[in-house]
Structure 1
Amino acid sequence: MASPQILFSVFIMFLYVFGTFVSGQFTKFNKLVLPLEVTGPESAAFGGLLVNGPFTTVTDGRIMKWKGSKIGFVDFAYTSPQRTKELCDGTTNSDMGPICGRPLALSFHPITGLLYIADAYFGLLVVGPGGGLATQLAGGFKFLSGIDVDLLTGNIYFSDVSLTYTIRDTTQPGFKPDSTGRFMRYNPFTRQVSVLLSGLNGGGGPAVSSDGTFVLVPELTGSRISKYWLVGPKANTAEFLLNIANPNKIKRAGRSGEFWVAVSVGFIPPAPLITPKGVRINSNGVVVQTVEFDKEFANKTISLVQEQNGKVYVGSRFTNFIGVYSN
């Protein structure tokens, strides 16, 4: 019979293999607080050693960069050429979006140093390490919501919510989402946009696998995730992966082949109480961990759960901070 020490070692190895021991439950909480009167950090991105971060998008149209606890968040970039600080800084008026911009998602390419942006009004944009006014790569969209860069090819994968309504429409009485969302690819060498999937119950943001073989595509209002294959015998086709409540942005997790999904149970259809969660899944759609954030994000939807250096960063359009969870 095996000794207790051997059994314990096997148990620890089992936990390591299946990820529970490695990731922990992220019970320690801290905040990265935005400047006064600034809200809505829906996305985050981390750069390399020189640009670091996190960067985040906020309601008034800015992209801000974290400079440490002594300085906090500072201005980094913006998406609208009409934007002025006097008119836009601190605004929460949705009617100002076409003037001030509303960036909703970020993805950083560490090799080029470029930060790619999905803006609800100004489409697909990019800005260099120096920040400032971003350059539009592709426009004419109603409502972009998510973005991710394939680090192997440089292709940019992004999604729009609808062909018929804008972000402002979602707050109107009686609003009902449709199924005209799309999943697209931008080739930075040819500068061409290709529609890969259409007819989606849109929202959220895609995530490219670390080996570049597939992209996970969420449907926020459809409560499901699909896998779109980039290479192999299934290339250029999609298959159902997982039913999950209101999946928003998906981000690669710390372990290769795994992803974090920002989930807000009770968001659609509306429920009396919303439960925000981070759900970690593997490439086969198996849930390997669930972390609830209802204590710090009580009855609020979340849009982002992103792991970086052993910590999990949580973003929401309804807070003035990014939540940081650690073990």
Structure 2
Amino acid sequence: MATPQMLPTSLLYVFIALLYVFSTVVSGQFNIFSKYDLPTGVSGPTSAAFGALSKGPFTTVNDGRILKWLGSRIGFVDFAYTTSTRSKKLCDGTTDPDLGPVCGRPLALSYQQSTSLLYIVDAYFGLLVVGPLGGLANQLVGGFKFLTEVDVNLINGDVYFIDASLTYELRNITQPGFTGDATGRLLRYNPVNKQVSVLLSGLNGGGGPAVSSDGRFVMVPEITVMRISKYWLAGPKANTTELLLNPSGNPNKIKRAGRVGEFWVAVSIGNYPRRPLIEPQGVRINSDGVVLQTVSFATQFFNRSVTLVQEQGGKLYVGSPRTTYIGIYSN
């Protein structure tokens, strides 16, 4: 086998260039940072979604609103909310967890391009949907303790979402002595017959599912036990589950990546159980659970967990419940 010293000069340059490209992909690109600041006094952008023609992003925040980005000159503006009990005077800017049942706390979004509908899961008010004009979202299904994430099947329009627990609510997780349980569920909502079915139960922690672009399976994270599983929706393995990956940290929301068959996972090393320092990462995997790339967000999200890593237009949009901005990483 030829060594680099034996190669002609032109081939040597190609060899070096390929090594550079390969090492860049493995070690992580996305080293240019910018951000979209939330309105003054607002925090907790835990999710993002992009509308038709990449409009947005839309994001969810602590005080119960869904905001929409209208460009650097305007910034974020109110777009939607999840309950008629919400008042701007009481709720805007609040960080009081006990106001969640009054103001709402939307945690995740999924935009359906074919219908221009924005699906929402609210920790207190269930699965909802809102049209392109925004306003008060329409509740599709309620009565849950703690919904955490949602994703729409691009093929048939079914909606997949996770109920993190049958026993505790979002506001309970910050209370002294809190311990999680294994009562989480993966659920499916059929928009045609308006029925909800339970696909998986006994899940540990919340996080968020991601349906493959071909609709054949859904990725399911379990935060507290550091596990990602694949639930098959179609094919010879339909209605079965297999372990896909045990990441090095706690996996939260999973989102489809720019390349078909790949996904981004928001991972926080040292979040559960709590270590002195949390290391937030974006981990890109393929449909077989092979890690393709790891990007560290430790500088801009120092000691903060991340709940969202979403690729859009060649950039990574990163969200955390403990920041006042959405981070944007580009190459």
Matched, 1:271 2:275: yes
The Cα of 1:11 is off from its aligned counterpart by 6.9
Determine the structure 2 residue equivalent to 1:185. Answer: 188
Determine the structure 2 residue equivalent to 1:321. Answer: 325
Structure 1 runs of 4+ with >6 Å offset: 13-16
Structure 2 Cα separation of the partners of residues 228 and 158 of structure 1:
13
Amino acid corresponding to residue 62 of structure 2 in structure 1: T
Q: What is the SS of the residue equivalent to 2:52?
A: coil
Structure 1 Cα separation of the partners of residues 303 and 319 of structure 2:
14
Q: Structure 1-normalised TM-score?
A: 0.95
Aligned residues: 325
Determine the structure 2 residue equivalent to 1:109. Answer: 112
Gaps of 5+ in 1: none
Determine the structure 2 residue equivalent to 1:33. Answer: 37
Gaps of 5+ in 2: none
1:92-107 equivalence runs, <5 A: 92-107=95-110
Structure 2 Cα separation of the partners of residues 147 and 4 of structure 1:
53
Matched, 1:226 2:260: no
The Cα of 1:276 is off from its aligned counterpart by 0.4
The Cα of 1:5 is off from its aligned counterpart by 3.3
Matched, 1:163 2:166: yes
Amino acid corresponding to residue 177 of structure 1 in structure 2: G
Matched, 1:56 2:59: yes
Alignment check: 8 A CA contact 1:34 1:73 kept: yes
Alignment check: 8 A CA contact 2:26 2:293 kept: no
Matched, 1:259 2:289: no
The structure with the largest alpha-carbon Rg is 2
1:124-273 equivalence runs, <5 A: 124-244=127-247, 245-273=249-277
Structure 1 Cα separation of the partners of residues 23 and 135 of structure 2:
40
Distance 1:100 1:323, change over 3 A: same
Q: What is the SS of the residue equivalent to 1:175?
A: coil
Structure 2 Cα separation of the partners of residues 11 and 282 of structure 1:
26
Structure 1 Cα separation of the partners of residues 23 and 114 of structure 2:
29
Alignment check: 8 A CA contact 1:20 1:288 kept: no
Seq. identity, %: 66
- Kindly report the root-mean-square deviation, in angstroms, between the aligned alpha carbons of the 2 structures: 1.8
Q: Deviations over 1:11-56 (max 9, x none)?
A: 766887x79559951111001000000000000000112x710000
Amino acid corresponding to residue 10 of structure 2 in structure 1: Q
Distance 1:14 1:164, change over 3 A: same
The Cα of 1:264 is off from its aligned counterpart by 0.6
Distance 1:139 1:149, change over 3 A: same
Alignment check: 8 A CA contact 1:274 1:300 kept: yes
The Cα of 1:212 is off from its aligned counterpart by 1.2
